[in-house]
Amino acid sequence: MSSEPLLSLENLSAHYVSQQGSRVVRAVDEVTLSLSAGGTLGIVGESGSGKSTLALTILRLLPPAARIVSGRMMFEGENLLDKSDTEMRHVRGKRIAMILQDPMASLNPLFSIGNQVGEPVRVHEGASRANAWKRAVGLLKAVRIASPETRVTQFPHEMSGGMRQRIVGAIGISCEPRLLIADEPTTSLDLTIQAQYLNLLRDLQREHGLALIFITHNLGIVAKMCDQLAVMYAGRVVEQGPVSQIFSAPVHPYTKALLGSIPRMTDNRDHLTAIEGQPPDLASLPPGCAFAPRCAMAFARCRVEAPPEFAVDEGRTARCWLAAPDAEAKATMMRSSVA
């Protein structure tokens, strides 16, 4: 645990700002997270909690309306926020790659599979057309696509959904990145294909020593894939730590609520919306803890003062007054609850 993490986000905040500047959506708010080389971090949270914005922030691919307002993003010892756009283009694809939710959106219908799978190798490694084509064949083999020599000559519409997802995966690993970010990569797949794809990602991770950030709605997938977990609520990480510890003893009431409806691996429904109430508008957050209006355990203090990140155990934190370590804080909380 003493070795330096591959990626470490420190108090990272990214907001969407309306043109007049009157509406500020705090999509990523003071996020502190780290991931070691070869590790797998799951990020879960309801729709709109900031997961995709966090992924786009790491890649510095935010739309023009967004601003990274504070923090640091250390990756292999360098702050990605200090990099120029040109330097970031070299980081993307080559050292950090991303797999998007919808494979069709990442594939160009007009170009052959071989062309698209080989492109990052040409761009980042200066490979010749012929060599890139050979690499494409090898990469299709690596993602377990049969008859890769034929498949490279075909086009996206000639592939099944599962195959397209594998091809996007092949593009992701084409330059042997150190970190792969997968944003809900299985949502569009049926269950059998989904399970196969997850096995494939795990194999690739083992074979290539990749670190993986896995964004998902599905806690069954987290259990299968991840060793670390970050739970996001309203742009903030409200609980994080080793998956096994969080699953066996969740601290934050939001995490408890999520785990109360833990799906089986074969269950593909969106359980995270099963919690009563609505997530807050990120442009007008309530004072105090953003989860307080939905929280069965909330005390008066929770409604006036946002909890800081408390250390719960080694490598575990929670943003909840219930996790306050000192008796005094708890006593204050209790007092304010009767007041």
Ligand X SMILES: Nc1ncnc2c1ncn2[C@@H]1O[C@H](COP(=O)(O)OP(=O)(O)O)[C@@H](O)[C@H]1O
Would you tell me which residues interact with ligand X (CB under 6 A)? 16, 25, 27, 45, 47-53, 63, 65, 282
Helix (H) or strand (E) holding 2: none
Q: Which of 8, 52, 228, 255 contacts Mg ion by CB under 5 A?
A: 52
User: Which residue lies nearer to ligand X by CB, 24 or 300?
Assistant: 24
Work out whether 165 is an interface residue with Mg ion (CB under 5 A).
no
Stretch that binds Mg ion, among 15-23, 49-57, 200-208, 244-252 (CB under 5 A): 49-57
Q: What is the CA radius of gyration of the chain?
A: 21
Report phi then psi at 33, rounded to 5. -150, 150
Work out whether 57 is an interface residue with Mg ion (CB under 5 A).
no
**Strand 7-17 to strand 24-35: parallel, antiparallel, or no bridges (unpaired)?**
antiparallel
User: Which residue lies nearer to ligand X by CB, 216 or 268?
Assistant: 216
Q: Which does 112 bind (CB under 5 to 8 A by kind): ligand X, Mg ion, none?
A: none
Q: How far is CA 259 from CA 45, 226, 254, 255, in A?
A: 11, 15, 9, 6
Least Å distance, CB 218 to Mg ion, is 13
User: Which residue lies nearer to ligand X by CB, 16 or 254?
Assistant: 16
Q: Which does 263 bind (CB under 5 to 8 A by kind): ligand X, Mg ion, none?
A: none
CA distance 156 to 140: 13
**Cβ of 64: how many Cβ atoms within 10 Å?**
7
Residue nearest to Mg ion (CB): 52
Of 130, 190, 197, 191, give the one whose Cα is nearest residue 170: 197
User: Which residue lies nearer to Mg ion by CB, 172 or 253?
Assistant: 172
Of 49, 65, 338, give the one whose Cα is nearest residue 216: 49
Q: Please say whether the beta carbons of 16 and 22 come within 8 A.
A: no
Least Å distance, CB 44 to Mg ion, is 11
Q: Which does 94 bind (CB under 5 to 8 A by kind): ligand X, Mg ion, none?
A: none
Residues in the chain: 339
Q: Which does 49 bind (CB under 5 to 8 A by kind): ligand X, Mg ion, none?
A: ligand X
Q: Which residues bind Mg ion (CB under 5 A)?
A: 51-52
